[in-house]
Amino acid sequence: MPSPQNQHHIPYPLGLHGPTGDAVIGFDLVSKRYEGDHQALTDVSFSVEAGEMAFVTGHSGAGKSTLLKLLAMIERPTNGVVTLDGRKLNTVRPAEIPKIRRKLGMVFQDHRLLLDRSVFANVELPLIIAGVSPADRGRRVRAALEKVGLLSYEKQLPEALSTGEQQRVGIARAIVAKPAVLIADEPTGNLDPQLAMEIMGLFAEFQAVGTAVLVASHDLMLIKRMKKRVVVLDHGKLVADVPAMEVV
Amino acid sequence: MNAVREPRRAPEPEKTRRSEPRKVGAWREHHAWSMSISLRRLGARPLGTLLTVAVMGVALALPLTFYLLLGNVQRMGDALGRNQSISAFMKPGQNAGMAETAASALRGRPEVADIVVRTPKDGLDELAEVQGFSGALQSLDANPLPYVLSVQPKPGLSAEDIGRLVDSMKATPGVDMVQDTGAWRQRLDALLGVGTRAVSLLALLLGIAALLVVGNTIRVDIQSRSAEIGVLLLIGASRPFVRRPYLYAGIWLGFLAGVLAVALAVVLELALAGPVGRLAAAYDGSVSFGGLPAWLLLSVPFASAVLGWLGARLVSARQIRRAAAA
Ligand SMILES: Nc1ncnc2c1ncn2[C@@H]1O[C@H](COP(=O)(O)OP(=O)(O)OP(=O)(O)O)[C@@H](O)[C@H]1O
Ligand SMILES: [Mg+2]
């Protein structure tokens, strides 16, 4: 087995984490150059399968958020192909973007809950967008809130909740429509270590039911404790891809 | 390594397999939700909603009121003009036979409904009834009044028809002068024509103003919700989905403003009915006050809802694009 440190030298088709039949997230020689000539990502290739959880880590400015933004189609790659649930994102027409985004659950560092409505109404949004009937919505929202341990908070406004609780509501909203992929950008950035572990534990649960989970984080302590696959970026290059088994 | 990562199937998203009825269901759910959330949002900002509805309602009530007034002036004109006759005064010294000849010549004309020949004696008797004249009249040795042909035109004649009739009366042998006591009616009709045109123009302008009022309210609303719009788009909402509640808000605002406009117009109508009715009665008992027609009152809220929808449409696409870019 090659050491993780030089895995990125292996061309993508031979790469151990190259796309397989079950790859739900795929990056194939992806580069991103922002306006102003800033090279945020260079030739990044890796894939994440259904039921797999991976961390993306690296120093500040390494390109973690950029990687997730490409998946969410907030940014477009300058080169290479990003695949989501079998769909090549560079061929997606603007009108199709909403439909593809619905395959993606997103968790944000600042939770991005809508403050003018209840916890229930926030979690309900993806189901409304999907056109689910009110009766089904109620059932599924409660199931999602139960999963994150906040069923009794459904009528509260987000502002009445603690930071950790708000983040859990954000997670409930991300998973309520059962997306194939769950991505999170620094989801525990504002939380104390105990809460951070709880949140990560939740992500692991969704992994266990078959969701592909990709979490950007620079919290190495936390990543080590989670014992999941780790993709390391350095100045926009993938410099290591450590399988879960080898995380120490 | 691939072996230890057991490949598992992604959970089948419940919404991916979408048959036609399912799509229709989603469409219906979207509309039901947009309708209710837009109403709730308007209710959450009662003052702003009230102000928009008030401004738009008053703007729409104005043309309705003018329409009401114009309609009633028209009715009075119609009623008062009904019995207007045209008088032809025969030259002095003409006798009854000559007057009768002139009358029968005019009777053949298509514009004429009836002609009454009034003798100088009739005229004198009429004058004698007017207080104060009787003494003066008794001192006259001879009757100075001429024969008068009182011509009643057929109802519904145009100004040109009346003009032709007057000309032919003037040209009739033995006629000295013609007095069209109904000429004011033509002038009133012309004025009413101008008034109707002005009210239509005013309605158009105020309709546009109402549309812009709603448009601006919606624009400000979208602006204040740009963070929310960003989140919605990120979690998979389409632009039309994001836009729909604002279009519904426009429809609600328009509808409420239309109802207010009708209410205002009806209140004005009730306030005017008394005085206008008395005024009409003073002229001619057969004139009555006419209210706005029911079809108009019923259609105003719906027309106004369309205006609100248009106003919201006008601003929402652009404003949401801006919010999405922010
Ligand atoms: N919209 C943008 N325009 C220009 N440059 C950008 C833009 N977004 C990010 N960058 C640059 O791209 C690089 C990668 O940014 P990115 O946000 O992906 O890093 P990161 O790994 O998420 O960092 P952090 O840990 O601080 O969140 C950075 O140098 C950043 O300055
Ligand atoms: Mg970042």
Q: What is the ipTM metric for this complex?
A: 0.86
Q: Is the pTM of this model over 0.80?
A: no
Residues B91 and B236 in one domain: no
Residue range(s) defining the domain that contains residue A218? 4-103+181-246
Residues B255 and B134 in one domain: no
The C-alpha of B252 sits at a distance from chain A's nearest C-alpha, in angstroms, of 21
Name the residue among A146, A149, A144 with its Cα closest to residue A195: A149
pLDDT of residue B239 exceeding 50, the answer is yes
pLDDT of residue B98 exceeding 70, the answer is yes
Q: Which of A65, A67, A76 to mutate to test the pocket of ligand 1 (most atoms within 8 A of CB)?
A: A65
Q: Is residue B3 part of a domain?
A: no
Residues B201 and B65 in one domain: yes
3-state secondary structure of B276: helix
Residues B162 and B252 in one domain: no
pLDDT of residue B145 exceeding 70, the answer is yes
Q: Is residue A150 part of a domain?
A: yes
**DSSP states of A192-224:** -HHHHHHHHHHHHHHHHTT-EEEEE---HHHHH
A177 vs B126, which has greater pLDDT?
Answer: A177
Cβ(A71)–Cβ(A183) below 8 Å = yes
Residue B290: per-residue pLDDT? 81
Residue B182: per-residue pLDDT? 67
Residue B184: per-residue pLDDT? 76
d(C-alpha A166, C-alpha A158), whole Å: 6
Residue A89: per-residue pLDDT? 94
Instruction: From A130, A148, A178, give the residue that closes a domain.
Output: A178
In one-letter notation, the amino acid at residue B264 is L
Size of the A and B interface in Cβ pairs below 8 Å:
116
Sheet holding B112-118, edge to edge: B112-118, B148-153, B86-90, B175-180
Q: Is the Cβ pair A1, B1 closer than 8 Å?
A: yes
Q: Which of A33, A34, A55 to mutate to test the pocket of ligand 1 (most atoms within 8 A of CB)?
A: A34
Q: Nearest-CA residue of chain B relative to A246?
A: B1
pLDDT of residue B199 exceeding 60, the answer is yes
The total domain count for chain B is: 2
Residue B280: per-residue pLDDT? 67
Q: How confident is the model at residue B69 (pLDDT cuts 50, 70, 90)?
A: confident
Q: Is residue A164 part of a domain?
A: yes
Distance in Å, CA B101 to ligand 2 centroid: 109
Task: Please name every residue paired with A23 in a beta bridge, in sequence order, or none if there are none.
Answer: A49
The residue whose C-alpha atom lies closest to atom 22 belonging to ligand 1 is: A65
Alpha helices in chain A (DSSP H): 64-71, 97-101, 119-129, 134-147, 163-175, 193-208, 220-226
Residues B317 and B198 in one domain: yes
Rounded to the nearest 10 degrees, what angle do helices B183-224 and B239-283 cross at? 150
Which helix (H) or strand (E) is A42 found in, with range? strand A38-49
What are the CA-CA distances from residue B113 to residues B15, B77, B211 (Å)? 79, 20, 51
Residue range(s) defining the domain that contains residue B122? 85-181
Q: What is the mean pLDDT of chain B?
A: 85
3-state secondary structure of B250: helix
* Dihedral of the alpha carbons of A33, A39, A43, A44, in degrees to the nearest 10: -90
Pocket of ligand 1 (CB under 6 A): A 34-36, 38, 40, 58, 60-66, 218
Residue B188: per-residue pLDDT? 81
Phi then psi dihedrals of residue A104, to 5 deg = -120, 125
Residues A174 and A196 in one domain: no
Q: Is residue B14 part of a domain?
A: no
Residue B273: per-residue pLDDT? 84
3-state secondary structure of B307: helix
The residue whose C-alpha atom lies closest to atom 16 belonging to ligand 1 is: A63
Residue with tokens 């000849």: B101
Copy the structure tokens of residue B66.
């003018």
Phi then psi dihedrals of residue A152, to 5 deg = -75, -5
The total domain count for chain A is: 2
Residues A26 and A73 in one domain: yes
Q: Is residue A109 part of a domain?
A: no
d(C-alpha B197, C-alpha A51), whole Å: 73
Residue B83: per-residue pLDDT? 63
The residue whose C-alpha atom lies closest to atom 24 belonging to ligand 1 is: A60
Instruction: From B123, B157, B181, give the residue that closes a domain.
Output: B181
Supply the CATH number for residue B164's domain: 3.30.70.3040
d(C-alpha A30, C-alpha B102), whole Å: 107
Residues A86 and A187 in one domain: yes
Residue A65: per-residue pLDDT? 95
A112 and chain B in contact, CB less than 8 A: yes
Residues A98 and A120 in one domain: no
Q: How confident is the model at residue B52 (pLDDT cuts 50, 70, 90)?
A: very high
Instruction: From B150, B181, B212, give the residue that closes a domain.
Output: B181
Q: Which residues of B touch A53 (CB under 8 A)?
A: none
- Alpha carbon A20 to its chain centroid, in Å, reads 19
pLDDT of residue B186 exceeding 80, the answer is no
Condensed to tens digits (0 to 9), the pLDDT of residues B249-307 reads 999 999 999 999 999 999 999 998 888 777 767 765 666 778 889 999 999 999 999 99
CA atoms within 13 A on the CB side of B166: 17
Residue A138: per-residue pLDDT? 96
Residues A91 and A205 in one domain: yes
- Give me the mean pLDDT over the B105-116 stretch: 88
B162 vs B277, which has greater pLDDT?
Answer: B162
Q: Is residue A51 part of a domain?
A: yes
Supply the CATH number for residue A192's domain: 3.40.50.300
Residue with tokens 């601003």: B315
Residue B20: per-residue pLDDT? 54
Residue B5: per-residue pLDDT? 44
- Grouped pLDDT means (10 residues each) for chain A, 248 residues: 41 37 87 92 95 95 95 94 93 92 92 94 96 94 94 96 94 95 91 89 92 94 93 95 83
Residue A4: per-residue pLDDT? 43
Residue A10: per-residue pLDDT? 37
Residue B213: per-residue pLDDT? 94
Of B2, B6, B237, the CB nearest to A129: B237
d(C-alpha A230, C-alpha A216), whole Å: 10
Residues B139 and B109 in one domain: yes
Instruction: From B159, B181, B203, give the residue that closes a domain.
Output: B181
Copy the structure tokens of residue B237.
């909402």
